[in-house]
Each structure stands twice: as C-alpha cells, then as structure tokens.
Amino acid sequence: MSDGLTVPFALAAGLTGASGVDSTAIIVTAGIAEIAAGSIAMGLGGYLSGRTEIEHYHSEESREYFEVEKFPEKERAEVKEIFAEYGLSEKVQDEIVDELSKDKKKYVDFMMRYELGLEKPDANRARNSALTIGASYIVGGLIPLLPYVFIRTDKHLALLVSLVVTLLALFVFGFFKSKVTGQPPISGAFRTMVIGAVAAGAAAGGAPGAPPAATGAGCRTRAGQPRAAQAGAAEPAVQRHQVQPRRRPGAAVLARRRHRRGDRGRGRRARH
C-alpha cells in the first residue's frame, strides 16, 4: 500500500510542477493510468512470487522423497543431527527416527520443516497475493489523487492538500503495520512516513518546474521597463550603426563633375 501512496503522489507532484500541464483533469487521468498499470504490475509480481514459492517447495519435497528412497541411512543421520542439537541421547534419537520413518509423508514433512526450514504454502497463495497487492495499490493510489478531483481550479493548492493527506495515510498505515508485526507503533509509523516522503520527493523532484514567461505585456526586464519599450528604444541606435547602401549619382551631377574637371585641366595648361 505504501507503494500505491508514494508513486501516484510523485507523478501528480511532478505533473503539477510541469509547465505544460494547467488542468487537474490531466493529472487525474495520468494518475489513474499509472494506478491501473502499477496495480497490474504489482499484482502480477505477487502472483509470480507466490507461484515460485509453491514450485520451490514441491521441488524440494520431490527431492526429499527421492533421497528417502535411495539414501535412507543418510536421511536418518541428518534427522538424528537435528535431535542431537537438542541434547538427546543416541538411543532416544534412534527411537524417534524409527517412529518417524514408519510414515513416509510425515517423515518428509518433518525434514522439510526442520531440516530445510520450509513451510508448506497455501495452494491459493499466488492468487490471494496478487489480489491483495493489486487491491492495496489501487486503494493507496487513489488517496493522493482525491484532492485533484475535488480541487479543480488550483493545482498547487491540490498538491498541498495531497501532500498532507498522503503523509497522514503513510503514518496510519505504518502505525497499524507495526502494531500487527509486533514493532513499536509510533516509531514504525514515523519511519514509514519519512521513507515514503523521501521516495516521493526524490521522484517528484526530477520534474521540471514552470519556466518564467518570455513574452507578454507584463514581462519586465531587470531595469523594470517592458521588453517592448526597451526594444523600441534600442532600434534607433541600431539603425544609426547600419551601413547605408551607396546611391548612384544622377546625370546632372555627373555633368557638373565633368565640367569642373575640364576647367581644372585648362587652368593647368595656361600655367604651363
């Protein structure tokens, strides 16, 4: 359930800080999609884990049956070692092994439990594990999304409410979990809440925040002036520094120039 609380909250927080997401409906839709995919993945993982445990038990059980048939003295010695650890005499060990070996099934069950440390799993363990984990993920995932459902106008306010609700849910979950497992409830609740908060914060912290607006009438420069005004003031200076193209002189100008050149030439010849 803690995974169902932290992962959807981290997704919602990341989308809240993203610049292109302005609607809480998008956040809720993405959260529901994540819950659906996450619950299936977690449930499938629980099912495969349960099936693996059952298959491992049956594999070890078949091996023990084989060894009881093919290597009975070796199996007797292994069982006697178990009782020797409890300080039983050799005679008592032989008597117990003789009684156990009369019923092959109980004999193998004893070795499975006390030699290999394996408990026989429930046949429905895989199915029950998948349903329990999947349902817990769905319930936990809906909790951080509820504020976005009811608070549709302000996504940042919805994020704050979602944060408070998620932390409270983690605290309550950690409290009852620690109480059931025999651990100190208060310390277990705080530990679950802190771990979940760190995990959610690490995931949500990677989301990009909303960048400042680059255009618009309200956008100001560091000098406090609108960008448009500053750009307009800078245009004349740019124009002054631009190189103007040279225009070709007209016919009248060219005629006056030729006339002046002719006068200068006659003056030089007269001096000589």
Put simply, whether the predicted model's pTM sits higher than 0.85 gets the answer: no
**Would you call 177 exposed, middle or buried from its count of C-beta atoms within 10 A (0-12, 13-18, 19+)?**
middle
For the chain, 272 residues long, give each residue's pLDDT as a single digit of tens: 667 778 888 888 888 877 667 778 888 898 899 899 989 999 999 999 989 999 999 999 999 899 888 888 888 888 888 888 888 888 888 888 888 888 888 888 888 888 888 888 888 888 998 999 999 999 988 998 999 888 888 888 888 888 888 888 888 888 888 888 888 888 888 888 888 778 777 766 654 444 343 334 444 444 444 444 444 444 444 444 444 555 555 555 556 666 665 555 555 555 54
Q: How many CB atoms lie within 10 A of CB 97?
A: 19
Q: Tokens 């069982």 — which residue?
A: 79
